[in-house]
A and B are shown apart, each in its own frame.
Chain A
């Protein structure tokens, strides 16, 4: 449905998007993950035909976003970072206007508007002026605006910003419910959002793609080197030296816990399972072992690891 090939965008000397390639299948939800200023918004603006790319091509439903811009724009719904609202209009009048410029047929218009309002749960604000709505409602009107013409592709730039936790959950459900009929790209810097809603994740940093995979795969594959949490009773420095003898461990954190025990967190090198080695080591020393469990690295950790500079990695390793 969406094909992006070698896309680049520069603003003067500043490279916003750097040779990005990815594709999205029909009915899929793709998450665009990256810190602020990573190039998410720029990529989305290129896809929606708002700005042209410096080089490379992007196709939506087979139409080039630059050469067949109007055909592409007919097929997309787009929620920019700041919802594009006419605040002196009522919700209904606004959605009516959007449905008109998106070429919704006159006889289908009311039905589409009602449907979009139902999906985003804003029916009770139908005749309110947008300027009187709260941030959360405005955001939902923005989402309704992207749905009103029932587009094949929906592009949402940070759709849950400014919503309260309950609304965030509702919006995530809404987005999940839209998949299948619609192909969705959403950008976010909130990680749980990606693991909860997206089929696939593109992690982007400084304009470059650093990883493309399913959220589950990213967690396992990139961090096969798992993290193990231990609780044992022993002398702190003796424990440290003992654990350092295990080769595939690359990071040890030992902290005193309650009743003289030690809380230990161990990080293994990628692809290594150190749990049995740890158990054997501690038991062979005759130390009582209370707990040993593997901890899955969260997307947060992967994200930080992928997007932080090598220099800061080095700094962390040194400390």
Chain B
């Protein structure tokens, strides 16, 4: 446990001084802010138009749920931002340690491989939480100023979904980083794998049985849609958790195998 905390602490310290982490988080927040304001303005415009139309038809004002629509679209965009930005955050996590030779220090210290992997993973999740948190301020602002108040449940589901999906991306990214000493190779592999999981159901959308159904189930983004609609389905949660577990398991194995491969 102490070993795990030591690793976690070191990783957090590293983010604190690492320009890469600052820049990725800054770019992420900047883009989030841009999309949020554009989305909000667009949705409000739409809602005006709808109510105008409703009035003209003589049917009274139509209901238009701006907060829910903004949440849904915003989290859709957020997932694509993560697709591009997480490989940059995960590419160095093991590749850099291997290149610097510090992996040898960690692997000859009294910490288990599992502690190394979990310590690093928890640090990544913490960074991710820090990265997501400011966007909550935008959302809270919108929810407090809408009448009637926006549905908080949708918002929390959406954040849970984003966090779980980020968890999958970080655990798979860590695995790819553990395969190589080259950060660029790690980033490209991670990005390729993410993109593949994104579009894996391409061409089989709508199928519910057979191969098409399985392929659809594997699509990372499909499970995410439920969350941003405010639907909390245990099968989605389990899907993400098992993917996270798979990523961590593969990483531990990959680190173990370093001991046998190293020439």
Contacts and interface: CB of A to CB of B under 8 A. Distances in A.
Interface stretch (A25-33, A86-94, A284-292): A86-94
B100 A101 contact: no
A192 interface: no
Contacts of A93: 13
B205 interface: no
Contacts of B10: 86, 97, 100
Interface string A77-103: 010101111111100010001101111
A96 B17 CA distance: 16
A85 B109 CA distance: 14
Given A70-B110, A86-B14, A100 B6 contact: yes
B59 to A, nearest CB: 64
Nearest to B263: A11
B68 to A, nearest CB: 44
Nearest to A76: B108
B110 A73 contact: yes
Given A70-B110, A82-B101, A51 B260 contact: yes
B263 A98 contact: no
Contacts of A39: none
Nearest to B105: A84
A52 B6 CA distance: 25
B101 A89 contact: no
B132 interface: no
A100 B110 contact: no
B104 interface: yes
A22 interface: no
> Which range holds the interface residue count of chain B?
20 to 34
B2 A100 contact: yes
A73 B9 CA distance: 21
A101 B3 CA distance: 5
A101 B1 CA distance: 10
A48 B7 CA distance: 20
B259 A52 contact: yes
B9 A100 contact: yes
A85 B3 CA distance: 18
A83 B100 CA distance: 9
Interface in B88-102: 100-102
A103 B112 contact: no
Given A51-B259, A51-B260, A86 B100 contact: yes
B104 A88 contact: no
Most buried by A among B7, B10, B262: B10
Contacts of B237: none
A45 B73 CA distance: 53
Contacts of B109: 73, 98, 101-102
Contact of A88 (B5, B18, B111, B260): B18
Contacts of A100: 2-3, 5-6, 9-10
Contacts of A52: 259-260
28 contacts: A49-B107, A49-B108, A50-B108, A51-B262, A52-B260, A73-B108, A73-B110, A74-B110, A76-B108, A78-B108, A80-B101, A80-B104, A83-B101, A84-B101, A84-B102, A84-B105, A85-B100, A86-B10, A86-B100, A88-B17, A88-B18, A89-B17, A100-B9, A102-B109, A102-B110, A103-B2, A103-B3, A145-B105
